[in-house]
């Protein structure tokens, strides 16, 4: 495997990829922008442990000093968690600038997919993805995550998307771009904090083995683009839909009145929702990420056994 000259893959990840062993990619925006310190570091380290316990090698992805990294040390994870939002959120358009300037960047779903693919990693676990924002018919605010799912062959295991987004339009967009949306053990798109959204997914799949088979068929066909696996939050950690939806509506109203836009929108809304719902949403968020890490590791293992 010829590595991209801007990419550093740590020894354990490199060996696993070369030997065809299961590897799961993880994003770093969830660490620096998604949760407060020190819970972010604790969660990121637990996620890596859960992936190992389920038979795969974790590869947390980030940009450090202008180098694209696949596989971080615990010290690097601590650094990202502590620096938090002072680290730039890096999307596709930011990669070249961060490399040229030798700066750090927290990778979103988009850039984690890009770097995972460069490193030969096929499966990626996270919390939630970006999508078509409410009001996008006038703001044109559509996350680059959807474009990336349309063109980069990585399976993204998430808990659906928060209803800070227009979930119906998000599904329309993914359909147009040929991205399969799978519900794990459900016919309904989960909405991150809750198991239900009222929107149907394309396919219900009930085992990691079937997920692996479907993704293998997509790669064998040479179809470009990824696959979105939506894994509902475990029942015992799911939140009351009214409580969370009220917080989301209030957060969106505040963002509109303050004129928040561009790359700030998603982090602003996420932080507001956390303030409005206190520790409850953080605890749920942590648990759904663990749940996705387990499924991604099992799927990566099944994929390697095909």
User: Strands 67-70, 7-9: parallel, antiparallel or unpaired by DSSP?
Assistant: parallel
Nearer Cβ to ligand PSU (99/144): 144
Identify the active-site residue in 27, 48, 78, 148: 27
Asked if 162 is an active-site residue, the reply is: yes
Site string for ligand PSU, 183-222 (x = CB under 6 A): ---------x------------------------------
Which is nearer to ligand PSU, 43 or 108 (by Cβ)? 108
Could you say which of Mn ion, ligand PSU, none residue 215 binds, taking C-beta under 5 to 8 angstroms by partner kind? none
Q: Which residues contact 36 (CB under 8 A, 6 or more apart)?
A: 84, 274, 282
Closest residue by beta carbon to Mn ion: 141
Give every strand in the sheet of 67-70, ordered side by side: 7-9, 67-70, 57-64, 23-26, 123-125, 155-158, 227-230, 181-184, 203-205
| Beta strand pairing call for 23-26 and 123-125 | parallel
Judge contact between 260 and 268, C-beta under 8 A.
yes
Nearer to ligand PSU, 143 or 292 (CB): 143
Q: With CB cut-offs between 5 and 8 Å by kind, which of Mn ion, ligand PSU, none does residue 29 bind? A: ligand PSU
286, 35 contact by CB (below 8 A): yes
Interface with ligand PSU (CB under 6 A), residue from 22, 58, 105, 128: 128
Which residues, in sequence order, are bridge partners of residue 220?
Answer: none
Out of 69, 122, 162, 272, pick the active-site residue.
162
Residues that bind Mn ion (CB under 5 A): 141
Binds ligand PSU (CB under 6 A): choice among 25, 31, 34, 117: 34
Residues 6+ apart with CB under 8 A from 170: 131, 132, 146, 161
Q: By CB under 6 A, is residue 81 in contact with ligand PSU?
A: no
CA 241 to CA 251: how far, in whole Å? Answer: 15
Residues that contact ligand PSU, how many (by CB under 6 A): 19
145 makes contact with ligand PSU (CB under 6 A): yes
- Span of 5-13, 25-33, 204-212, 241-249 interacting with ligand PSU by CB under 6 A: 25-33
Task: Locate 29 and state its tokens.
Answer: 């925006």
Decide if residue 58 touches ligand PSU (CB under 6 A): no
- 21 catalytically annotated: no
Catalytically active residues, by annotation: 27, 162
Binding stretches for ligand PSU (CB under 6 A): 27, 29-30, 34, 108-110, 127-130, 143-145, 162, 192, 263, 266, 270
């Amino acid at each position: 495997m010829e590595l991209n000259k801007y990419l550093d893959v740590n020894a354990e990840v490199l060996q696993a990829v070369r030997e065809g062993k299961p590897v799961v990619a993880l994003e770093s925006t969830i660490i620096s922008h998604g949760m407060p310190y020190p819970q972010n570091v604790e969660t990121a380290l637990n996620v890596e442990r859960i992936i190992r316990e389920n038979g795969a090698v974790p590869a947390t992805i980030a940009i450090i000093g202008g180098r694209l990294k696949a596989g971080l040390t615990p010290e690097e994870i601590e650094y990202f968690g502590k620096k938090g939002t002072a680290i730039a959120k890096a999307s596709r358009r930011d990669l070249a600038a961060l490399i040229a300037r030798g700066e750090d960047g927290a990778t979103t779903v988009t850039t984690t997919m890009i770097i995972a693919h460069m490193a030969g990693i096929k499966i990626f676990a996270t919390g939630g993805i970006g999508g078509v924002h409410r009001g996008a018919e006038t703001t044109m605010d559509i996350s680059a995550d959807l474009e990336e799912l349309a063109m980069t062959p990585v399976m993204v295991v998430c808990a659906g998307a928060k209803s800070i987004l227009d979930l119906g339009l998000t599904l329309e967009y993914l359909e147009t771009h040929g991205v399969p949306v799978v519900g794990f053990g459900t016919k309904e798109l989960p909405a991150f904090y809750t198991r239900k959204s009222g929107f149907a997914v394309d396919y219900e799949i009930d085992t990691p083995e079937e997920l692996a088979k479907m993704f293998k068929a997509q790669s064998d066909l040479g179809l470009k683009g990824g696959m979105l696996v939506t894994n509902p939050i475990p029942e015992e950690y799911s939140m009351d839909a009214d409580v969370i939806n009220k917080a989301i509506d209030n957060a969106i109203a505040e963002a509109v009145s303050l004129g928040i836009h561009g790359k700030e929108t998603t982090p602003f809304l996420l932080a507001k929702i956390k303030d409005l719902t206190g520790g409850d949403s953080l605890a749920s968020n942590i648990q759904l990420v663990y749940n996705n890490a387990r499924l991604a590791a099992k799927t990566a293992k099944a994929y390697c056994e095909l």
